[in-house]
Amino acid sequence: MNRENSRNRLMKELQTYSFAAHEALLYLDAYPESKEALAYYNKFKKLENQIKNEYEAKYGPVTSPNEAQSWQWNKGPWPWQLDGEVML
């Protein structure tokens, strides 16, 4: 359960930074000349990538891996599953 909690915490961080970057992405679509939005995007995209690397190192791939020692992509949990749920 402790592992689930720290996995959830890291996932929440990934979701937060990714969301902030995505929100800036939509804004930049309409206002590409905004330096403020670009700096915001860069800041949160960098944080998103850092946390994604950390998450993937600990809990397995979020996107299909660039290179893998062993194949983890098919291992759970899938996004709709609840904590502790096991898939056959």
Partner 1 sequence: MWNYEKRLQYPVKIKNPNPKYAQIIVSQLGGPDGEIGASLRYLTQRIAMPYSKIVGILTDVGTEELAHVEMITAILYQLTRNLKPDEIVKSGFDTYFVDHTTGVYPVAASGFPYSASQFQSKGDVIADLNEDLAAEQKARVTYDNILRLVDDPDVCDAIKFLRAREVVHYQRFADALGIAQDNMNSKNFYGYNPAFDKK
Per-residue CA distances from 5 to 10, 26, 36 (Å): 9, 31, 35
Contacts of 71 (CB under 8 A, 6+ apart): none
Residue 66 lies near partner 1 (rule: CB under 8 A): no
Residue 11 lies near partner 1 (rule: CB under 8 A): yes
Minimum distance from CB of 64 to partner 1 (Å)? 8
Tokens 């749920």 sit on residue: 85
Binder among 4, 6, 9, 26 for partner 1 (CB under 8 A) = 26
Nearer to partner 1, 23 or 43 (CB): 23
